[in-house]
Amino acid sequence: MGCGRVGAALAGGLERLGHEVAVIDRDAQAFRRLGADFRGRQVVGQGFHRDVLIEAGVERADAFAAVSSGDNSNIISARVARETFGIERVVARIYDAKRAAVYERLGIPTVATVPWSTDRLMRMLLPDGVASAWRDPTGTVAILPLPVHEEWVGRPIRELEAATGCRVAFIVRFGTGLLPKSDTAVQAEDTVYVAALSGTIGEVTAAAAAPPQES
């Protein structure tokens, strides 16, 4: 549902992979974005209306994506697809990151556009190792590779967590992932991935870049 730039690109990409695709939009002019070679169904109407969904083939659909420009329309359509028609693979694009957590609790996977786009931009702007590798749908918690001062080598993970105020999620050591314990020592060449609140990433990074302080 939604034939904006994202919806049209998604529909085209799925069709090129051999999938049968139907696109719903309330504006018939929006289908021009699909291009002349698009072979799927084009349905004019509101994507949360039962009859419109049935016309689009929802009763035999394997997946449903709600990517219109409206958060409310996306979540309502996604819920109808999931709860009324029993589609298991459902996803909704959400602009308001604060709403994403609520929708996740309702069982609707969401893509919070603003935090996701912000992360992509930060990856291009910031030095390697600072941008987050993953962020929860609300944009509240991030997992990021944390560059640490060389003097942290040999010190236990619990001390690094205490100094930075974050949680060590895992370590990549010699190319292999490792779930550390509190007494696991940092080794040279380790890549330490931590979970931190989004608003604290600057402070966490600065604390890890400094040598450990003796208590």
| Nearest CA among 145, 155, 159 for reference residue 192 | 145
Q: What pLDDT does residue 95 have?
A: 84
Q: How far is CA 54 from the centre of its chain?
A: 29
pLDDT tier at 64 (50, 70, 90 boundaries)? very high
pLDDT at 131 over 90: no
Q: Decide: pTM greater than 0.85.
A: no
Distances (CA, A) of 209 to 44, 54, 126, 152: 55, 56, 15, 9
Distances (CA, A) of 140 to 96, 122, 189: 13, 16, 29
For residues 97 and 92, give the distance between their C-alpha atoms in angstroms, rounded to a whole number: 12
| Rounded mean pLDDT, 189-199 | 90
| Rounded mean pLDDT, 39-59 | 96
Higher pLDDT, 127 or 73: 73
What domains lie within the chain, and their CATH numbers? 5-116 (3.40.50.720), 126-209 (3.30.70.1450)
Q: What pLDDT does residue 113 have?
A: 74
Tokens of 114: 């603003």
| Rounded mean pLDDT, 4-13 | 93
Report percent pLDDT > 70 for the chain.
Answer: 89
For residues 53 and 28, give the distance between their C-alpha atoms in angstroms, rounded to a whole number: 16
| Rounded mean pLDDT, 144-154 | 93
| Rounded mean pLDDT, 136-161 | 89
pLDDT tier at 129 (50, 70, 90 boundaries)? very low
| Nearest CA among 18, 30, 67 for reference residue 47 | 67
Mean pLDDT, the chain, rounded, equals: 88
Q: What pLDDT does residue 127 have?
A: 55
